[in-house]
Amino acid sequence: MLLAVLSGFILAFLAPWLTPRLGRAVGWLFGLLPAALFVWFASFIPVVASGETLLFSYPWVPGLDINLTFLLDGLSLLFALLISGIGTFIVIYAGYYLHGEAYQGRFYLLILAFMASMLGLVLSSNLVALFVFWELTSITSYLLIGYHHEEGKARASALQGLFVTVAGGLALLAGLVLLAVAGGSYELSELLTSGDVVREHALYLPLLLLILLGTFTKSAQFPFHFWLPNAMAAPTPVSAYLHSATMVKAGVYLMARLNPTLGGTETWLLLLGLIGATTMLIGSYMALRSTGVKQVLAYSTVMALGTLTMLIGVGTEKAITAAVAFLLAHSLYKGALFMIAGIIDHETGIKDFRELGGLRSAMPLTALFAGIAALSLAGIAPLFGFVAKELMFEAVLEAPAIGTVITLFAVASAMMVVAIAAVIGLRPWFGPRLPTKKTPHEAPPSLLAGPAVLATLGLLFGLLPMLPGQHLLSAAALAVAGEPIEVYLSLWHGFNLPLLLSATSLAVGLLLYWQWSRVQPALARLAAWDHLGPERGYEKVMASIVSISDSHTRLVQNGYLRYYILTIISTLLLLLAWTILTRYPVLPSPDLSGIAPHTFTILAITALAALYAVTTRSRLGAVAALGALGFGVALIYVLFSAADVGITQVLVETITVIMLVLVLFRLPGFLDFTLSGSRLRDGFIAVLFGGTITLILLMTTEVQFFPPISEYFIENSGPLGHGRNIVNVILVDFRAIDTLGEIFVLALAAIGVYAMLKLRAEDRKS
């Protein structure tokens, strides 16, 4: 299992090296890996269909008790089969589609890495591993949307997709941690059975909202749906794979996966049901409004994702059956349609439905498969899409609440979807032949393989719905429901309300298509209202982040060292004083009797030196006074038998004086720049800060929170550290990693000073 997940990554990292060496065969050869994975996963169908859940566990960070656990049940198996199956055709397709492109090797690196991450995501049982794979899919998606990185639009769309999904990912991380706290485990396999505990937990609402924020952004739910159509800047194989069949379904997967743990509450039903239904309606409306081939498909994907979310929200037996059936149906027809969109673009160079027509005679096979897939999208018998749509209508009609609203939404959406399907399935192929940029030919086998197989499967599953239903879908529905449910798929349900709704939407949809050339521009005029839409919100948020950080930087990083120090010291002062005053109001009364008189003499000298350094107008005098102060402190260290610290202090003082002497003569003459007011302020803060620190030092001698650790060092420095000098043993052995940090800081400081001086010296020269 580990190999199955990792093999994609391994091949991915070899891909840039292999791609130029394999030439034209690259697609077919790379396709062998996902194909082998598909066969391997398919061999689990009998075991999983019998209701078993397989767990594979590998230690990952044993010290923290994090295991890499993979869970294979109906749901993850369904996803794994879709990912590897559609992945096979995408890899083959890209071999021809992107042949001769400069970055084909990079493309294979990313798409294979994505496939492996997606497999990891749907198979992970550990929440941490799941999250890591989740973010990996976001990152590979970002890189793939920005594949044509020379184009500004591709870069902007990639960044938008990344920001939206990764912002959601952060929320998801918080949500998953809360879920683990509430459910008492990071393992999905254990969380799936502790649903009652989680739903009753005080953290249920916050963790639900955080997780849904993650899934809604990932699966392009309203109001985060805007990034998905923009992601169409990616090459078509990417759109077909990531942005319709797999990655955008990661959110749907997680909601379905967590349904036994989180689902069934009123909040769940309302949130998922209403937001899903809204997304569905907006998706189909936007699809009907658009004319770009990939835009239409992208919005219809938004519609499908909304439908899935809504069905998971409804959560009845019927709804869950409908969800898994719809998931399969959508992946089949949408994968096929996207690949056909790529073929149209590749053969004609045209990306807009208004400029397409009469291509049937030039590419009959493509037209045939487009027609079949579009029938499935429209939900017309005998395609599998029809089975799924009938189930969807039944489910929304039986919904335990908000049934009327979502039924209305579903019917309205279905009408528009029929029209969209007709636009895709009829418009480019029939009617008068419109002029094209290139002379279209029938697509080669590598491009046609995907649409052919996927569309045919859609037809086959429609005619024999028990074929997927009996084994795979029932196991998947079982996993989503968390308890055995009866899955019965059939083409013919008899004359009932769902059939009536289907027929109505079909009739209205065809009417809409008949008038498409009028309906579409009318709807497109509504685009004037888009400035009220969520995408503008995203732009505003991004713009305000930039302007806030701009003004914030100007305020905080003002470039005046004195203000930095002032800020640091006053903040520390406030925090310390606050803590002391509120918690330890009793002032310490130090016992001074044991201190020898000569100590006081040294103290007096250092105090005088400090006073002189502050008041003198001679720089050399100030340096000398600071030196005297430092030597005084060193003397005190020696008096209290801290020889090492004393020696260090003396040496540091020496070196400091050397450095100061080196720069002293370069400074301009001493002038008073500061006003007496600000000097008073600085003096006041300095005295207050010094006083507070003194107070704290005195208090620490009286209050002892913990037994001092020095006892341990004194006892063990000899036996464990092989040394009698405790200070040194602590520095280089007991707390070596602290010292390592310190010497790194020292090195960085030296490099910083060096860089600063060097830059200045070069400025001078030029």
Alpha-carbon distance 108 to 95, whole Å? 9
Q: How far apart are CA 94 and CA 106, in angstroms?
A: 12
Among 555, 722, 762, 765, binds other proteins (CB under 8 A): 722
Q: Note whether 300 and 283 are within 8 A (CB).
A: yes
Pairing mode, strands 54-61 and 66-72: antiparallel
Structure token pair of residue 483: 């308890």
Stretch of 64-72, 382-390, 528-536, 725-733 lying at the interface with other proteins (CB under 8 A): 725-733
Q: Tell me which H or E stretch contains 60.
A: strand 54-61
The answer to whether 261 and 183 have CB atoms below 8 angstroms apart is: yes
739 touching other proteins, by CB under 8 A: yes
Q: Is 740 in the site for other proteins (CB under 8 A)?
A: yes
Does 522 sit near other proteins (CB under 8 A)? no
- Residue 624 CB, shortest distance to other proteins, in Å, is 17
Q: How far is the CB of 749 from other proteins (least distance, A)?
A: 7
Diameter of the chain by CA atoms?
110
Rounded Cα distance, 379 and 392, in Å: 11
Q: Specify the stretch interacting with other proteins by CB under 8 A; choose among 399-407, 495-503, 617-625, 663-671.
A: 663-671
Interaction of residue 703 with other proteins, rule CB under 8 A: no
Using CA atoms, how far residue 364 sits from 96, 100, 350, 367, 686, in Å, is 20, 27, 18, 5, 86
Query: Contact between 601 and other proteins (CB under 8 A)?
Result: no
- Exposed / middle / buried, residue 391 (Cβ in 10 Å: 0-12, 13-18, 19+): buried
Q: Give me the least distance between CB of 734 and other proteins, in Å please.
A: 9
Q: How near is the Cβ of 735 to other proteins at its closest, in Å?
A: 9
Q: Which of 3, 586, 675, 743 binds other proteins (CB under 8 A)?
A: 743
Output b/e per residue, 40-54; b: 16+ Cβ within 10 A: ebeebbeebbeeebe
721 binds other proteins (CB under 8 A): yes
- What distance in Å separates the CA atoms of residue 120 and residue 129, rounded to the nearest whole number? 8
Q: Looking at this protein, which amino acid is placed at residue 30?
A: F
- Residue with Cβ nearer other proteins (270 or 659): 659
Phi, psi (rounded to 5 degrees) for 69: -110, 135
Among candidate residues 211, 214, 242, the one with its CA nearest the CA of residue 115:
242
Q: What is the amino acid identity at position 542? A: M
Q: How far is the CB of 193 from other proteins (least distance, A)?
A: 37
Toward other proteins, which CB reaches closer, 379 or 646? 646
Binding part of the chain for other proteins, among 213-221, 264-272, 403-411, 650-658 by CB under 8 A, reads 650-658
Identify how many contiguous H helices and E strands the chain contains and give both numbers: 33, 2
620 binds other proteins (CB under 8 A): no
Question: Contact region for other proteins (CB under 8 A) — 153-161, 183-191, 672-680, 753-761?
Answer: 753-761
According to CB under 8 A, which one of 437, 500, 725, 759 is a site residue for other proteins?
725
The token pair that represents 169 in the structure block? 């990912």
Contact 628, 606 (CB under 8 A): yes
Interface with other proteins includes 759 (CB under 8 A)? no
Task: Indicate whether 724 belongs to the interface with other proteins (CB under 8 A).
Answer: yes
Which of 115, 112, 95, 113 lies closest to 104 in space, CA to CA? 95
Contact between 651 and other proteins per CB under 8 A:
yes
Closest of 293, 165, 191, 288 to residue 239, by C-alpha: 293
Of residues 234, 246, 20, 9, the one with CA closest to residue 109: 9
Out of 10, 659, 680, 709, name the contact with other proteins by CB under 8 A: 659
Q: Interface with other proteins by CB under 8 A: which range of 216-224, 427-435, 489-497, 749-757?
A: 749-757
765 touching other proteins, by CB under 8 A: no
Residue number, 155 or 735, with CB nearest to other proteins: 735
- Say whether residue 662 binds other proteins (CB under 8 A): yes
Nearest to 732 by CA among 746, 747, 717, 719: 717
Question: Strand ranges (DSSP E) for 567-709?
Answer: none
Residues 527-539, buried b or exposed e (16+ Cβ, 10 A)? eeeeeebbbeebe
Contact with other proteins (CB under 8 A) among 658, 667, 671, 675: 658
Stretch that binds other proteins, among 353-361, 449-457, 535-543, 724-732 (CB under 8 A): 724-732
Question: Is residue 751 part of the contact set for other proteins (CB under 8 A)?
Answer: yes
Using CB under 8 A as the binding rule, whether residue 640 contacts other proteins is answered as: no
Which member of 522, 607, 747, 759 binds other proteins (CB under 8 A)?
A: 747
CB of residue 762 vs other proteins: minimum separation in angstroms?
Answer: 11
746 binds other proteins (CB under 8 A): yes
| Binding residue (CB under 8 A) for other proteins from 185, 194, 616, 648 | 648
Q: Which residues contact 225 (CB under 8 A, 6 or more apart)?
A: 279, 282, 283, 302, 534
Binding mask 666-695 for other proteins (x = CB under 8 A): x-----------------------------
Of the pair 194, 656, the CB lying nearest other proteins is at 656
Report the amino acid identity of residue 349. G
Size of the site for other proteins (CB under 8 A): 41
Q: Output DSSP code: residue 103.
A: T
Which stretch, 234-242, 529-537, 662-670, 685-693, contacts other proteins (CB under 8 A)? 662-670
- When the beta carbons of 544 and 710 are compared against other proteins, the nearer one is 710
Sign of CA dihedral 147, 148, 149, 153: negative
Residue choice 644, 694, 701, 714 for contact with other proteins (CB under 8 A): 644
- Dist. CA 65–CA 711, nearest whole Å: 33
Instruction: Indicate the residue among 592 and 761 with the shorter CB distance to other proteins.
Output: 761
Least distance in angstroms from the C-beta of 644 to other proteins: 5
* 754 touches other proteins by CB under 8 A: yes
Interface with other proteins (CB under 8 A): 643-644, 647-648, 651-652, 654-655, 658-659, 662-663, 665-666, 721-725, 727-729, 731-733, 736-737, 739-740, 743-744, 746-747, 749-751, 753-754, 757-758, 761
